[in-house]
Amino acid sequence: MRFRCFIPFVAGLLLGWGISSPVAASSEAWEAAVVVPEVRIAIHWVSHSELSKVAFEVGKRARTRPHGFSVLRHNPGTREYRCDIYLLKRPARVDDQATVTLGHELAHCLGFSHDEGG
Ligand SMILES: [Zn+2]
């Protein structure tokens, strides 16, 4: 499975985000970009247009048609982390694309990042 993700870290509540699409290198290493001791995760099953809308709202556009998307936010006031994962398909098999995409986006929610796609 190959992915391309975009993980910019900016000031404020939005810590990072990632998009999974079928073109990035699967051998790329994860880096612990943010220490996330505890995170509240919400999973949203969305259409392609809804996925694009979320990307636009956080200021990014995928270069390819993504399979999934995650947004990690931190509230400095409460010290709480929240991660929203947007997926096009529900996992149906243990090793299908939807399952791999879900795992990939979960890694981003735990504070992991990678270089591919900037
Ligand atoms: Zn990624």
Q: Is 0.75 surpassed by the pTM of this model?
A: yes
In this prediction, residue 16 carries a pLDDT of 59
Distance 58 CA to ligand 1 centre (A): 16
User: Which DSSP string corresponds to the chain?
Assistant: ----------SSSEEEEEEE-TTS-TTPPPEE-S--S-EEEEEEE--HHHHHHHHHHTT---SS--SEEEEEEEETTTTEEEEEEEESS---STTSHHHHHHHHHHHHHTTEE--TT-
Instruction: Map out the domains of the chain as residue ranges.
Output: 14-25+33-113
Q: What is the pLDDT of residues 45-88, one digit of tens each?
A: 999 899 888 888 887 776 677 788 899 999 889 989 999 999 99
Per-chain residues with Cβ under 5 A from ion ligand 1: 5, 18
pLDDT(20) > 70: no
Distance 77 CA to ligand 1 centre (A): 27
C-alpha 105 – ligand 1 centre gap (Å): 6
Reported as a single tens digit per residue, the pLDDT across 92-104 is 999 999 999 999 9
